[in-house]
Amino acid sequence: MPAEPKHAELRQKMQALKNLYISRHYTQCAKFGERLLADVDSTAHPLHRAYLNFYTALSHDILAREATLKNRYRELIAAEKYYCAAIALLSPQITPCSTPSLDDDQPSTPDSVTFPEESVWLRRLKATSYVSYRTSASSTLSEAISREQHLDLALQRLSFPTPPDEDEDVEPTPTTKFPAGSSRRSGMLISISTQIVRPKSAAPPQLPPQLPPDTSSFVDMLQGHLESVRNLKENTGVRGAKFGIPSPLSTPTKQQARSWRPSDLSDDQKEALHKRRREMVWRPRFDPRSIRKLCDDALDEI
């Protein structure tokens, strides 16, 4: 598949992923982003793959903050995974999955993320306190994507030396003759011709993908989101919610209910059971007379 149509199709899918996030379809956005990441290959530009990881992580991040305690830890793990992948693509020398030290100057989670129309992020993170950190990551992505369109044309203009032809690779060496007094048959000449093959020129090294100079601001924003997710994960005490089973006394099982059938009990046991039931303290039934009296007094004052 040619590079240009392939990149154009990928950009359309990236725009569809962004539209899902803006329309607050976070579950669909997360699943669609994971499917795109599984389909995209290593030939795609790192900024495009970081874009997919970023929106997938954002969707999991918001789902973790809105989900119940049962699913929160799972969504936080997924968000941390995709944030780390995005940072690794843009800054391979950084190891985002290691615990950052206290001396590192890590920015907090920004109030706005990447695109101006995504201000919904601030409204959904009111429960936690973050330091305001404005970033120019929107211009970073837009500039990088526009530069990436001309990346293939720039690579095509590069010229590399071509290897020599096969006819020019071989050079015969002079024939070596053994002396006549050797142990071999007299008068017999044995010639050994050796061929020295010139090594072909190695393949030209692949140039690293070009990233805009202000990509570091986008990486700082990703690290801020990652730090926020890790803090929330540490504060989430339940790693896998385990709900307690109700007491058998309050909600007996079917087998226990069968064992308490009156037909299986003796007369003395039935009488004791009836007496215990009569002595049980029940909540008094609601009496509306006090409410009516209160309403009548309020109407009289009016």
For the segment 119-161, what is each residue's pLDDT rounded down to a tens digit? 444 444 443 433 333 344 444 555 555 555 544 444 444 443 4
The distance from CA 82 to its chain's CA centroid, rounded to whole angstroms, is 2
Q: How far apart are CA 56 and CA 83, in angstroms?
A: 9
Q: Are residues 33 and 141 in the same domain?
A: yes
pLDDT band at 211 (very low <50, low <70, confident <90, very high): confident
Beta bridge partners, 197, equal 170
Could you tell me if residue 169 is inside a domain?
no
Angle at alpha carbon of residue 18, lines to 13 and 21, rounded to 5°? 130
For the segment 89-125, what is each residue's pLDDT rounded down to a tens digit? 888 766 656 544 434 433 333 333 344 444 444 444 4
- Based on the structure, what is the number of domains in the chain? 2
Element (H, E) at 196: strand 195-197
How deeply is 147 buried, as exposed, middle or buried, from its count of CB atoms within 10 A (0-12, 13-18, 19+)? Answer: middle
Q: Are residues 260 and 134 in the same domain?
A: no
Last residue in a domain, options 180, 202, 235:
235
**pTM (2 d.p.):** 0.46
What residues make up the domain containing 265? 254-301
